Amino acid sequence: MKKIIQIPIDDELLTQLDDVSSTRDQSRSDLIREACQAYLYGIERDALEKQYQRGYQKIPEETSPGETQIRMVGYVLPKETW
């Protein structure tokens, strides 16, 4: 169910919204809804990223000695001049 809300908005921002909605052939309301959804998605994505980072800080990924040597070779060989 959709609800109608009222929010105060600066003239400059309203003009920008109207310009974009006109360019995209989209209503102002649709544009604002889309922007709100994108903003909320970004917040959720950032929270998941932080959770992912905390997980790796608590339990760091362990590499085998062989994997470490392969990575080191990748850093050293390109710098060699021979």
Sequence spans of domains, the chain: 12-79
> How much is the pLDDT for 80?
64
> How much is the pLDDT for 7?
94
The tokens of 78 are what? 């390109």
pLDDT by residue for the chain (82 residues), tens only, comes to 889 999 999 999 999 999 999 999 999 999 999 999 999 999 999 999 999 888 878 877 776 777 777 777 777 766 666 6
> How much is the pLDDT for 79?
65
Find where tokens 């980072």 sit: 53
For the chain, where are the alpha helices, taking DSSP H only? 11-23, 28-58, 65-76
Which 8-state DSSP code applies to residue 59?
S
Residue 67, exposed/middle/buried by CB under 10 A (0-12, 13-18, 19+)? exposed
> How much is the pLDDT for 56?
78
> How much is the pLDDT for 55?
85
